[in-house]
Structure 1
């Protein structure tokens, strides 16, 4: 996990963070922290992270697929086999993109350096947010699989590449709004109210 490039990346990142902190450049500190942690996490856990979330997603989706007799799964390999109702099979591979690793890693990195929360709030939101992103991704995959089951292999591109992505990203934007944007708006309103009170 910790190879030469990884160690160099961490050292450079920590040094840049310390410089930004000493210079009291808060926004620069935030962005260096977020971007650095994002790339470090993606690089460090590139193999196990993807496999874990791929297997977890495939298990969740497989549970509902078995209930509806619509598709079968192979969690170890991250495969979903959809036996379409009007004939034909579609095999969906839950890979790097489908696993939601990038979205989860971005969420962790942003939250780790978000200044409005203390340590306990960050940990609580980290757990809640990761669960919500996982559920949103599970819903997206279930939506894709059941629709492909009903409408056949030709509908795969429409439901996977277009509608499924829109659903997932709308869910992720809603989660990001709740965690990052809404508290910021509330803080600005409180500051405005305090200023007017003076």
Structure 2
């Protein structure tokens, strides 16, 4: 049990670091101050500033785990395809989650503190879930109807060689 808690703690720390990459990008663009160790983003604006906490719930880890579990137990793919789609999905979900955080920060920065609920709970979630549904469609539905992303990737690699 102790080993499991160490792995869980290390995983949550990694999530915090990856989630903070989006905020670090915003920091480099001089939009928000960034408190790395605490996982806090101080979003300044013309009205009332907002302090946003980035924790494991903001990381997309639940959606990532659900996607990987579906890929692993999806009976239509061979082992190499499952690994490819799992890695592709993890990177894709991470990228769209970073995009979601950037959109929320930009909306709150330019729209004021009163736009936080709209930006985080409506626009951010809508953007994230629409793009996740697009991933699910491409991996589980479209790939069964036409050539899958994996097969196109393999063909592209062979043509390049």
**TM-score, scaled relative to structure 2:** 0.81
Distance (Å, rounded) in 2 between the aligned partners of 1:104 and 1:174 = 14
Structure showing greater radius of gyration is: 1
Alpha-carbon distance in 2 for matches of 1:170, 1:47: 30
Residue in 2 that maps onto 1:105: 65
User: Is the partner of 1:91 in helix, strand or coil?
Assistant: strand
Structure-2 separation of matches of 1:70 and 1:106: 33
1:92-171 matches, cutoff 5 A: 92-171=52-131
Q: Any gaps of 5 or more consecutive residues in structure 2?
A: 148-161
SS in 1 for 2:57: coil
Within 5 A, what are the aligned runs for 1:1-198? 1=1, 46-63=8-25, 65-84=26-45, 86-186=46-146
Per-residue CA deviation, residues 142-186 of structure 1 (Å, 9 max, x unaligned), is 000011000111110000011110000001111111111212334
The two structures have a TM-score, normalised by structure 1, of 0.67
Q: Distance in 2 between matches of 1:91 and 1:139?
A: 19
8 A contact 1:50–1:99 mirrored in 2: no
Q: What's the CA shift for 1:46?
A: 4.6
In the alignment, the residues of structure 1 paired with residue 105 and residue 99 of structure 2 have an alpha-carbon distance, to the nearest angstrom, of 10
1:160–1:131: structure 2 CA closer, same or farther, 3 Å change rule?
Answer: same
Counterparts of 1:172 and 1:69, CA distance in 2 = 29
Shift of 1:114: 1.1
* Paired positions, count: 147
Structure 2 SS opposite 1:71:
coil
What's the Cα RMSD here?
2.2
Q: Do 2:104 and 2:124's aligned partners in 1 also have CA atoms closer than 8 Å?
A: yes
Higher mean alpha-carbon deviation, 44-53 vs 127-136, is at: 44-53
Partners in 1 of 2:10 and 2:121 — Cα distance?
25
Residue 186 and residue 137 in structure 1: after superposition, are their counterparts in 2 closer, same or farther (change >3 A)? same
